[in-house]
Amino acid sequence: MNRSITRRLVVMFALGALITFTIVGAALYGVLERELTRHQNDDLNTNLQNMRYSIERFGDLEHWPRLQTKMDTLSPADGSVRFWVLSDDPRFLYGKGLDEMERVNQGEAGHGTLTLPITGRSYRTLSMRIGAFADRPPVRLIVGVDTEPFEHTLRAFLVALTLLNLAAVALVMALGWWIARIGLLPLQRLSTQARALRPKTLSQRLQVDGLPVELEDLTIAFNGALGRLEDAYQQLEAFNADVAHELRTPLANLIGGTQVALSRPRSATEFQETLQSNLEELERLRSIVNDMLFLARADQGEAATGLTAADVAHEVEMTIEFFEPLLDETGTTVAIEGELRTQATMNIALFRRALSNLLQNAIEHSTAGARLVVTISQRAGAIWIAVANPGATIAATHLPRLFDRFYRVDSSRHDHGDVHGHGLGLAIVRAVATMHGGATVATSEAGVTTIAFSIAAA
Amino acid sequence: MRRIDAPVAAMKLLIVEDELKTAEYLQKGLAEQGCAVDVAHNGIDGQHLALVHDYDVIVLDAMLPGIDGFTLLRALRQVKQTPVIMLTARDSIEDRVRGLHDGADDYLVKPFSFLELLARLQALQRRGRAQEPTQLKIANLQIDLIARKAWRGSERIDLSAKEFALLAVLARRQGEILSKTAIAELVWDMNFDSNTNVVEVAIKRLRAKVDNAFSPKLLHTIRGMGYVMEARDDAIGDGLDEEDAR
């Protein structure tokens, strides 16, 4: 119920109309009631003053029958106006049901109401005391006006008011529904467009032109989200293709090698060689799977654990020491520069892993006898470790993508069976940096490629 | 395949693993190493066997039908302190913490290699063993671990510090196949799959100094698995078949 904006708007319109009309109606009713009361009181007063004058001036016993006749004349047959005269002297009594009148209206002069016991009719009354005159003792004159027409008018007005109110509310609801429908039309157009979005049509965007201001922000935000989604989706697609491709080569080797081995009788030695070859491929698969799991965990936002305080330069030295056999072999040298006293809080195994990937990468991409430089620097709350190697300059378009999984600058190298890596090395560097609250950056200028990662300074 | 070595021989093991193929190859492999191996395919049988018999080590899968590995481990720990190696499919920190908290002695993430399991078993068996020797001798190779010197016959071999460390690691575990990852960890303290050929190069250089000019050859490559140092009956070099079972 509350989920529909149209319904909510209609209900709110109706409530608003109901409240407004009720207040206006109540005010009108009050005004009418006051006016009617005033009118009745005027009526009473006129009649009272009229009779009072006669009774005061001519109300002796001799003239009393004439006054009675006058009162008869002034009382219409429908009983809408009535006169009563109360007196200690029974000769001066006038009006019907006087016994009750005496009981009912013992008050002093003034306004009052009474209900006649027999007919049940209600009267608004005005009474006053009139002093003695000639042979007449003091009397009490009461004028009554039937309230029935007055109440009837009020009732009729109230009914009319209620019906009109309801009709008006219904009309407002109908109008409100129509207005809401018209007003929400752009939203409907948007949802129609949104419904048409499919994974295949992720490059489509919702139209912003002609939208009301209120929806424009939302639509732009939604389009932004679509853009990010498209990027992520495409990355995932490419990634899946890459994974499949990476796994396909070792799998093909395994299947083919095994098939060849089994296709004819062979010596144990030959089978052993097949198994050994298979084992190499399987290790390759295991290594890819393990690295992918590691990257997946980093993607899920897993932070590095097992953090310890470490001397950055020392860790760099230890990692370089690991590479010494390889460095000796290729005649490569490594220099450590920068802020050598930097301390950091890190997972040492992960740090060494990231750095060893960078060193491996640098050694692979520089010619024998090159001089690599590892620079430690500290800026803006982060500790940066940069590895620079002389080598072919990498085009700027490749640089931001170097850290993507399976990304290779030279796609022709893809299938050359690069035994020391499977295109995840720099992705792992980025994952390690992320897990330490850091980042990665790559630059390549004038024959020197520098790849760096950072970890948050403690 | 030739027997890898005897360090785990004569161990009495229980494998609790519901994956039939895994259980089968573990049983076969460990039995061929000279171990007495019992296998349970679910937690209930596993718990029964673990409580009734006295094993040297229990290899316990974390995800099991019936009773899961962690529950089994807790039940076991209330009764006895049999060493336990947990196998888990996920390398999640919670699993590790949970396992070690519940009293596991070691912990392997699937997919693990058989060599890795062997190494862990050997480590558990070495635990609490008498102090390591200060001198090692394999055929005519002599190593003084205190003076950090090595000889082949009477000829002194000139080694760098890391080369000596590498030689010592291999010689201490003679007959035991060490994977490249294990060597990187033991010699350089690099605890990860390094994806580099550093170890290959290091072994090649060590071999040039220790083996090339001498006989018998001691440092052997086991293709796809790693390296082993041992004196073999034949004097044939590496790269040939490893069929020379005793």
Q: Are residues B77 and B17 in the same domain?
A: yes
Inter-chain CB proximity A291 and B93 less than 8 Å: no
Handedness of CA A203, A207, A209, A214 (dihedral sign): negative
Residue A375: Cβ within 10 Å count = 17
* Cα–chain center distance at A142: 71
Query: What span, in angstroms and rounded, lies between the C-alpha atoms of B189 and A318?
Result: 9
pLDDT at B128 over 80: no
Task: Decide yes or no: CATH 3.30.450 for domain A5-154.
Answer: yes
Instruction: Specify whether the backbone of A337 is left (phi greater than 0), alpha (psi in -120 to 50) or beta.
Output: beta
Query: What span, in angstroms and rounded, lies between the C-alpha atoms of B45 and A152?
Result: 94
Query: What span, in angstroms and rounded, lies between the C-alpha atoms of A281 and B198?
Result: 19
The C-alpha of A282 sits at a distance from chain B's nearest C-alpha, in angstroms, of 9
List, for residues B37-78, the tens digit of each pLDDT value. 999 999 899 999 999 988 989 999 988 888 888 888 888 888
Chain B residues lying within 8 Å of A283, measured CB to CB:
113, 224
pLDDT at A116 over 80: no
Instruction: Specify whether the backbone of B189 is left (phi greater than 0), alpha (psi in -120 to 50) or beta.
Output: left
C-alpha count within 13 angstroms, C-beta hemisphere, residue B163: 20
Chain B residues lying within 8 Å of A422, measured CB to CB:
195
Q: Are residues B99 and B144 in the same domain?
A: no
Residue A74: Cβ within 10 Å count = 14
The C-alpha of B112 sits at a distance from chain A's nearest C-alpha, in angstroms, of 9
List, for residues B198-235, the tens digit of each pLDDT value. 899 999 999 999 988 888 899 999 888 889 998 887 54
How many structural domains comprise chain B?
A: 2
What are A312's two structure tokens? 């950055």
B195 CB-near residues (< 8 Å, 6+ apart): A287, A357, A360, A420, A421, A422, A425
Q: Are residues B83 and B143 in the same domain?
A: no
**DSSP letter string over A403-433?**
TSTT--SSGGGGGS--TT--S-HHHHHHHHH
Q: 3-state SS of chain B?
A: CCCCCCCCCCCEEEEECCCHHHHHHHHHHHHHCCCEEEEECCHHHHHHHHHHCCCCEEEEECCCCCCCHHHHHHHHHCCCCCCEEEEECCCCHHHHHHHHHCCCCEEEECCCCHHHHHHHHHHHHHCCCCCCCCEEEECCEEEECCCCEEEECCEEECCCHHHHHHHHHHHHCCCCCECHHHHHHHHHCCCCCCCCCHHHHHHHHHHHHHCCCCCCCCEEEECCCEEEECCCCCCCCCCCCCCCCC
**What fold is seen in the domain A213-299?**
Helix Hairpins (1.10.287)
What are B167's two structure tokens? 């030689």
List, for residues A355-407, the tens digit of each pLDDT value. 999 999 899 888 888 899 999 999 888 999 999 999 888 888 888 888 888 87
Q: Which of A344, A195, B135 is nearest to A352 (CA)?
A: A344
Say whether residue B197 is in contact with chain A using an 8 A CB cutoff.
yes
Looking at chain B, which residue has its C-alpha nearest residue A326? B198
Task: Decide which of B63, B93, B126 is a domain's last residue.
Answer: B126
C-alpha count within 13 angstroms, C-beta hemisphere, residue B84: 28
Residue B144's DSSP bridge partners are B135, B149
Domain that holds residue B53: 12-126
Where residue B5 falls among pLDDT bands split at 50, 70, 90?
very low
Query: What span, in angstroms and rounded, lies between the C-alpha atoms of B73 and B86?
Result: 9
Cis peptide before B216 (omega within 30 of 0): yes
Q: Which of B161, B162, B170 is nearest to B211 (CA)?
A: B170
Residue B4 lies in a domain: no
With 0-12 / 13-18 / 19 or more C-beta atoms within 10 angstroms meaning exposed / middle / buried, residue A144 is buried
**Structural contact between residues B152 and B140, judged by C-beta atoms closer than 8 angstroms:** yes
Residues within 8 A of B (CB atoms), A 343-372 only: 349-350, 352-353, 356-357, 360
Q: Are residues B111 and B23 in the same domain?
A: yes
**Structural contact between residues A321 and B198, judged by C-beta atoms closer than 8 angstroms:** no
Q: Which of B33, B36, B41, B30 is nearest to B69 (CA)?
A: B41
**Structural contact between residues A363 and A327, judged by C-beta atoms closer than 8 angstroms:** yes
Q: What is the pLDDT of residue B236?
A: 47
Q: What is the pLDDT of residue A174?
A: 92
Query: What span, in angstroms and rounded, lies between the C-alpha atoms of A96 and A343?
Result: 116
Looking at chain B, which residue has its C-alpha nearest residue A287? B193
Chain B residues lying within 8 Å of A325, measured CB to CB:
162, 198, 201-202, 205
What are A172's two structure tokens? 């407002």
Q: In this structure, which amino acid lies at residue A27?
A: A
Q: Averaged over A194-214, what is the pLDDT? A: 78
Interface test with B, best of A274, A302, A322 (most B CBs within 10 A): A322
Q: What is the pLDDT of residue A319?
A: 92
Q: Are residues B121 and B64 in the same domain?
A: yes
**Structural contact between residues A445 and A363, judged by C-beta atoms closer than 8 angstroms:** no
* More confident call, A414 vs A332: A332
Residue A329: Cβ within 10 Å count = 18
Query: What span, in angstroms and rounded, lies between the C-alpha atoms of A132 and A140?
Result: 10
Residue B183: Cβ within 10 Å count = 21
A445-450 contact pairs (CB < 8 A, 24+): A445/A393, A446/A393, A447/A390, A447/A391, A447/A392, A447/A393, A448/A388, A448/A389, A448/A390, A448/A391, A448/A393, A449/A362, A449/A365, A449/A388, A449/A389, A449/A390, A449/A391, A449/A392, A449/A393, A449/A394, A450/A386, A450/A387, A450/A388, A450/A389
Q: Which of B48, B78, B51, B47 is nearest to B60 (CA)?
A: B47
Q: What percent of chain A has pLDDT over 70?
A: 93
| CATH number of the domain enclosing B19 | 3.40.50.2300
Q: What is the pLDDT of residue A103?
A: 56
Which residue in the block uniquely carries the two structure tokens 């699937």?
Answer: B110
List, for residues A190-203, the tens digit of each pLDDT value. 888 888 887 777 77
Query: What span, in angstroms and rounded, lies between the C-alpha atoms of A366 and A330?
Result: 10
Residues within 8 A of B (CB atoms), A 403-442 only: 419-422, 425
Where residue A243 falls among pLDDT bands split at 50, 70, 90?
confident
Q: What is the pLDDT of residue B98?
A: 67
Q: Are residues B115 and B149 in the same domain?
A: no
List, for residues A43-92, the tens digit of each pLDDT value. 888 988 888 888 888 878 888 888 888 888 888 888 788 888 888 888 88
Residue B84: Cβ within 10 Å count = 26
**What fold is seen in the domain A308-456?**
Heat Shock Protein 90 (3.30.565)
Chain B residues lying within 8 Å of A323, measured CB to CB:
196, 198
Chain A residues lying within 8 Å of B194, measured CB to CB:
322, 353, 356, 360
* Cα–chain center distance at A258: 60
B80-to-A195, A401, B34 alpha-carbon distances in Å:
62, 54, 25
Element (H, E) at A182: helix A148-195
Chain A residues lying within 8 Å of B21, measured CB to CB:
none
Spans of all domains in chain A: 5-154, 213-299, 308-456
Q: Are residues B189 and B93 in the same domain?
A: no
Say whether residue B243 is in contact with chain A using an 8 A CB cutoff.
yes
Query: What span, in angstroms and rounded, lies between the C-alpha atoms of B34 and B40?
Result: 19
Q: Where are the alpha helices (DSSP H) in A196-300?
A: 213-262, 268-299
Q: Averaged over A269-282, what is the pLDDT? A: 89
Name the residue facing B243 among A268, A275, A282 (closest C-beta): A268
Query: What span, in angstroms and rounded, lies between the C-alpha atoms of A447 and B118?
Result: 47
With 0-12 / 13-18 / 19 or more C-beta atoms within 10 angstroms meaning exposed / middle / buried, residue A26 is exposed
Q: What percent of chain B has pLDDT over 90?
A: 25
Q: In this structure, which amino acid lies at residue A289?
A: V
pLDDT at A208 over 90: no
Q: Are residues B41 and B71 in the same domain?
A: yes
Q: What is the pLDDT of residue B245?
A: 33
Q: Are residues B20 and B90 in the same domain?
A: yes
Where residue A108 falls among pLDDT bands split at 50, 70, 90?
low
Q: Are residues B121 and B141 in the same domain?
A: no
Q: Are residues B122 and B35 in the same domain?
A: yes
List, for residues B189-202, the tens digit of each pLDDT value. 888 777 788 899 99
Query: What span, in angstroms and rounded, lies between the C-alpha atoms of A175 and A167?
Result: 12
| CATH number of the domain enclosing B168 | 1.10.10.10
Say whether residue B1 is in contact with chain A using an 8 A CB cutoff.
yes
The C-alpha of B79 sits at a distance from chain A's nearest C-alpha, in angstroms, of 32
Q: In this structure, which amino acid lies at residue A63?
A: H
Q: Are residues B119 and B143 in the same domain?
A: no
Inter-chain CB proximity B205 and A360 less than 8 Å: no
Residue B1 lies in a domain: no
